[in-house]
Each structure stands twice: as C-alpha cells, then as structure tokens.
Amino acid sequence: MIAERWNAGEMGCGELLIELALRMKQLGAGQVFELTALDPGAVEDIPAWCKLTGHGLISAKHPVYQIRRRNN
C-alpha cells in the first residue's frame, strides 16, 4: 500500500534527492513512497540513493519508483 505519492516532474536529481529525503523523513518505518521522476538521471540516481540511505527500492520502472522507508 502506498502511503504517499509525489510527482517530481522534470526536477533535476540534485534538488529531487534533497526533497525526496525530506519527504521520506515524514513517513513511518516500512511505509511505501511512490515517486514519479521524469529526469533521465533518475534511472541511476534513485537506486544509488536508496542503497546509500538504506531505504528499500521496491520497484524501478522509470519514471515511477516505489521506495520503502527504512526501519530506523
């Protein structure tokens, strides 16, 4: 079940990742966030960011990404 959705449109990945981090902090542990990101760099940047931060990348079918909030 998706807890929150955000359409970032064509926002560049630098700004996108900062905003995504702020939005993920608002979720409870284990909740799922759905992101739509049209920036072509998102294909590599979103999975790398998830790996770096410990959030789970459930689905990455560009431009839609589903991310599970880490437990802590």
DSSP letter, residue 23:
H
Domains of the chain, by residue range, sit at 2-68
Longest dimension (CA), the chain: 30
Q: Report the predicted TM-score, pTM, of the whole model to 2 decimal places.
A: 0.95
Q: How far apart are CA 31 and CA 38, in angstroms?
A: 23
Looking at residue 4, its pLDDT comes to 98
Fold of 2-68: Translation Initiation Factor IF3 (3.30.110)
Q: Tens-digit pLDDT profile for the chain (72 aa)?
A: 999 999 999 999 899 999 999 999 999 999 999 999 999 999 999 999 999 999 999 999 999 999 999 997
> Phi/psi of residue 51, each to 5°?
-60, -45
Give the up-direction half-sphere exposure of residue 64: CA atoms within 13 A in the CB hemisphere.
6
| Single-letter amino acid, residue 30 | G
